[in-house]
Structure 1
Amino acid sequence: MARCNSPTAMLIDLPPLIMTGFPIVPKLPSEFAKCNGCTFSWSRVQLEACGTLELSERTKNVDYNEVSKSFVYTPTLDDIGCHLKFCAVSGQAEGCIETISKVEVTSGPGSCPFEKRHKYTSNLTENGVFRIMSYNILAEMYLNRDYLTEFQYCPRYAVELAYRTPLLLKEILGYNNDILCLQEVGRELFRDDLLPSLEAFDFEGHYREKGGGTAEGTAIFFRKSKFRYLGQHDILIIDHLETDAGCVDILQKTYSNGNFKEAFKRNFQTVQVSLPQLFLMDLQEMLYCFGSLVVRASAPEARGRGFNPRPSHTKRLTKMALAAASLDA
């Protein structure tokens, strides 16, 4: 059990951009976040402009209107123009740690395209059914590197992580998935935003970075009410190809082109295999009844991966076939 230090020595960070309709996640100190029995509250306050007066001075002797007791909060239209105060109280320490946003709540971008898709996933899945999603987060390191060549059509502010993070959270949560397979997940995004926010919605998450010191990787989240975590096996593809005898043919084809070989070795890829155990009481009862008939039956398997189709792939999708001579075969 974690032991908390005095709360007066801790700091909380709130996002530099707060928009109505999009969730915000406070960044708690790790030693505080590990304490059990934490309670949270959000309040709003209307502050008058006071020139260069520090925010701490402007917030003295003002009244706060409590708006939520959850860890993750989604601002409403009533919050526009106000600052938000977040307070966390640990069950193991007296008092609380709190902070006030440095920015006012602003209007969000309005209706997003993914909200139309949310209409098809408005409810959680029923018992015995689960929904799985694969999603490419697009790591910030690639946005910063390739912005001028790949993303000039997008306003600069819209590729900043401060803007993208609340949109990502709203989209991901709105699909009501039970398993999330995420790729190109930045290290800090997972640690500071995705993990704490999704944990607040009954998810457990695990992360694996690519090789070569790259600060992004894959993440798997699963809903704890449906799955139990048993273990994790991470595979660095380049190491697997070079050490597994069963991959000799693949390795030979991959390395037959010198330029491709060098590009492949630089592009570290991982396969993350998580082993959550599905709670299906009706299935367990069925297996018990049929006993010896299913002793040797193999368990069902679900695989998730990224999907990046090109216009030329349309026929393959509609015909469900791939020519043997295809480069994608």
Structure 2
Amino acid sequence: MLATLPKVVQVISRCSRRSWNRLIANSSVQLFLSTSWLCHYTMNKAIVRIPPDNNIVCIDYDIGFKMRYLQRDKDEVVSRALARIKLSYIKEKQSPKKKGKRNRQPPQQDSDVLQAFLLDGNGNRIDENITNGIAWSQAKQLVVGDKQYAIEVNPPKILSLRLPDTIMAQFPMVPILTAEFTDTIKYDWFTIAPDSNEETLVESKIVNHDSTQITAFIPQTQHVGSKLKVVCTPYNSQHTQGSDPSSVTVAAAITAGPGTCPCQMTHLYTKKRLTQPDSFRIVSYNVLADTYSSQEHTQKVLFPYCPPYALSIDYRKLLITRELYGYNADIICLQECDKDIFNQFYAPFMKGLGYDGIQDSKINNREGEATFYHMDRFNMIDHHCQSIGNTLKNDEIFKQICKCPTLKYRLLNRNSIVQIVTLQPKELENIRLVVVNTHFYFRPQASHIRVLQGYSMLKCVEKYCEKFIGNDVRVLYCGDFNSHPRTALVKLMTTGSVQSNDPVWHEGGEEEFCENISLRNDKKCVSFTGYPQFTNFVNGFVECLDYIFGQPEHFQVEQVFPSMTEEVATAYTALPSVVSPSDHVAIGCDLRLK
């Protein structure tokens, strides 16, 4: 019997609270556990958690094969918590073995007689008049009557763990987890054979939690058909292992990928991360919001050539994250990023690659802009988000716009936003890199609206940058501007002006025509990604709409991502497809600060 002890202890130590209570409800299990050597080995432990971000002390302990979970205020005197523990102990000792009114007995033991106290590491009794927060953090032992508990304070623990439901070979996989009191996590990846259910350890690594170390695992082609399992074991700074490692197994088997994706050609140019303190790689990508791709109109009218499964977000997010993973970028600007999917998938996945990020939704919408930055390269200094239209209300040009109510309504009724994230390169303390991420109005025959949005964006950023007087400020404008290279918006950004006689002011018809509107941009920009043949390729529309603008006196272009060819885009009729997750193409470049 003693020979089975290690296995029994291992099974018990991995039980969840609910499973433990079900297990010990079995009478035969209770008899087995009642042997003194096993009780001493497994039962006499109290787990104390003192989260730093709230005012609660949590104490988990067992009495009579039942787990007790006690929560007390940190500022409460510990004597009150000990009194509650004594009461639970007395009730359990006095409760009859058979439930029923006939068997109930009057109390046999006075709580004043029973002892309950805490001991510190030297065996000294802790003052019961100090607070829970102090007492339990110092305690090493809890004594209640004839029971003694070794106290474990803030043991490392995995609170939640999950993997995506769909896993494809050659696509990076990041476990999405939350943990507390954890400094490092050991990741053990297993494949499970489809026939024998035999588990094979494929990879094992220890990663610092809340660090920039990569936790991604990439299934290989030989793993197709097997299931994937990950076991996460938490450790704290004293290298103490958590008592219950957490594991999750994906129900569906690993499937083969769709074949070669267009992004893999670009990845040939982005294999290595940039390391020079004055250089960085930036990417801008409209990822096609699930809000739109899941609509029946989208699937049957806009993209009828794309299989429905390839339009589902569960499929597309794997292609998107694989694409971003291979770019090894330092800054990533996404448009049409759904808030829920950002929180549930993109943010934790990118954190596993060393990024932090922020998402801002458009006005009254579930999707918007998200900006990620690699935490090894940048510190985030500030974040700001603003509706584009509201900026113009304080500008002289707004007086002219108010003379045309239809134009005013159409401009202010747009839900576009300007997301601004200000970064400081780790080794360049005086630099303020202001990254602007936006997505302009999409309707045809609305170039006059978009150029006004561009002017509003410039004014918003100009006003925002006033807070960084004394710093070396550099600005990048990234996004889907829904404007081809010949439009007034691009003219405003690159030449610095759009005159009142420009044809763009007539695009909205007489109802939206407003006289004497001239726009000026004193900080002329260039498109650092050039003007590729297209960045948006759908059946019936092919155009360059996406840009990364900046002032040439501030940045030197080191490399530009190669453009997708028409041959590649039409391999599956158009975009999106089974190998391209969006109707847009990601753009990117390597820049050096001048």
Higher helix fraction: Structure 1 or Structure 2? 1
Q: Does 1:122 align with 2:299?
A: no
Deviation by residue 1:269-317 (Cα, 9 ceiling, x = unmatched): 2211111101345999xxxxxxxxxx9674222232225455966xx79
Deviation by residue 1:226-268 (Cα, 9 ceiling, x = unmatched): 21111211112233344xx12x52585499363x666655541
Q: Say if 2:280 and 2:330, in contact at 8 Å, map to a contact too.
A: yes
Q: Give the equivalent residue in structure 2 for 1:91.
A: 235
Letter in 2 for 1:67: E
Q: Give the equivalent residue in structure 2 for 1:271.
A: 418
Whole-angstrom distance in 1 between the partners of 2:470 and 2:379: 22
Deviation by residue 1:145-193 (Cα, 9 ceiling, x = unmatched): 2322211121111011111111101111212211111111111221122
Report the secondary structure of 2:171's partner residue: coil
How far did residue 126 of structure 1 move?
3.5
Whole-angstrom distance in 1 between the partners of 2:391 and 2:498: 27
Deviation by residue 1:78-129 (Cα, 9 ceiling, x = unmatched): 2111000011222253221111111111110111111112222222123121
Compared CA separation, residues 323 and 262, structure 1 to 2 (3 A) = closer
Q: Give the equivalent residue in structure 2 for 1:74.
A: 218
Higher strand fraction: Structure 1 or Structure 2? 2
Which of these residues, 195, 210, 216, is aligned with residue 367 of structure 2?
216
Q: Give the equivalent residue in structure 1 for 2:77.
A: none
Compared CA separation, residues 38 and 261, structure 1 to 2 (3 A) = farther
What is the TM-score normalised by the length of structure 2?
0.45
Whole-angstrom distance in 2 between the partners of 1:140 and 1:181: 17
Which of these residues, 181, 187, 193, is aligned with residue 40 of structure 1?
187
**Unaligned regions of 5+ residues in structure 2, if any?**
1-51, 54-153, 206-213, 237-241, 432-468, 506-518, 520-594
Q: Does 1:228 align with 2:354?
A: no
Q: Give the equivalent residue in structure 1 for 2:351.
A: 199
Q: Does 1:174 align with 2:334?
A: no
Q: Say if 1:17 and 1:103, in contact at 8 Å, map to a contact too.
A: yes
CA RMSD of aligned residues (A): 3.2
Letter in 1 for 2:235: G
How far did residue 197 of structure 1 move?
1.9
Q: Say if 1:130 and 1:177, in contact at 8 Å, map to a contact too.
A: yes
Q: Give the equivalent residue in structure 2 for 1:292.
A: none
Q: Give the equivalent residue in structure 2 for 1:291.
A: none
Compared CA separation, residues 280 and 36, structure 1 to 2 (3 A) = closer
Compared CA separation, residues 191 and 34, structure 1 to 2 (3 A) = farther
Compared CA separation, residues 91 and 5, structure 1 to 2 (3 A) = closer
Report the secondary structure of 1:110's partner residue: coil
What is the TM-score normalised by the length of structure 1?
0.77
Q: Say if 2:156 and 2:235, in contact at 8 Å, map to a contact too.
A: no
Q: Say if 2:157 and 2:182, in contact at 8 Å, map to a contact too.
A: no
Tell me which structure has the larger Cα radius of gyration.
2
Report the secondary structure of 2:161's partner residue: coil
Q: Does 1:64 align with 2:200?
A: yes
Which of these residues, 289, 303, 320, is aligned with residue 151 of structure 1?
303
Q: Give the equivalent residue in structure 2 for 1:139.
A: 289
Aligned length: 295
**Unaligned regions of 5+ residues in structure 1, if any?**
49-57, 285-294
Compared CA separation, residues 181 and 45, structure 1 to 2 (3 A) = same
Whole-angstrom distance in 1 between the partners of 2:181 and 2:285: 28
Q: Give the equivalent residue in structure 2 for 1:112.
A: 261
